[in-house]
Amino acid sequence: MEFGLLYEWQMPAGVSRADESRHFLQMMEQIRLAEEVGFTSVWSVEHHFLESFSHASAPEVLLSWIAAQTSKIRIGHGVRLLPYPYNHPIRAAEQAATLDLLSQGRLEFGSGRSATAAELGGFGIDPAETRDMWRESLELILKAWTNPVVEHQGKYFNQVARPMVPKPLQSPHPPLWMSCTSPESHEVAGELGLGLLSFTLALAFEEVASRIAKYRERIKTATPIGQFVNDQTAVFTMAHCAATPELARERAEAGVMRYQHDQIDLLTSLIPNLKEGSSYDYYNRFVGVDYDKFDYDYLDSRNMILVGDPQRCIELAKQYEAIGVDRLLLFVQYKDMPHEHTMDSLRLFGSEVLPAFS
Helix residue spans in the chain (DSSP H): 17-37, 59-69, 89-102, 117-122, 130-146, 183-191, 205-219, 245-267, 296-301, 310-322, 339-348
Burial class (CB in 10 A: 0-12, 13-18, 19+), 162: exposed
- Confidence (pLDDT) at 282: 43
CB-side exposure of 113: number of CA atoms within 13 Å? 20
- Confidence (pLDDT) at 270: 59
Nearest to 211 by CA among 197, 230, 221: 197
- Confidence (pLDDT) at 115: 78
Q: Read off φ and ψ for residue 163, nearest 5 degrees.
A: -75, 135
What averages of pLDDT result for each successive group of 10 residues across the chain (358 residues)? Answer: 97 92 97 98 96 94 98 98 97 98 98 90 94 97 98 97 98 97 92 93 84 96 98 97 98 93 74 47 46 80 93 97 97 96 98 96
The CATH number of 2-357, from 3.20.20.30, 1.10.580.10, 3.20.20.240, 3.10.580.10, is 3.20.20.30
For 324, the 3-state DSSP assignment is coil
User: Would you kindly state where each structural domain of the chain is located, as residue ranges?
Assistant: 2-357
What distance in Å separates the CA atoms of residue 157 and residue 253, rounded to the nearest whole number?
A: 45
The b-or-e profile of 264-289 (16+ CB within 10 A means b, else e) is: bebbbbbeeebeeebbbeebeeeeee
Cis peptide before 59 (omega within 30 of 0): no
- Confidence (pLDDT) at 237: 95
**In degrees, to the nearest 5, what angle opens at C-alpha 259 toward C-alphas 1 and 233?**
25
Q: Structure pTM?
A: 0.94
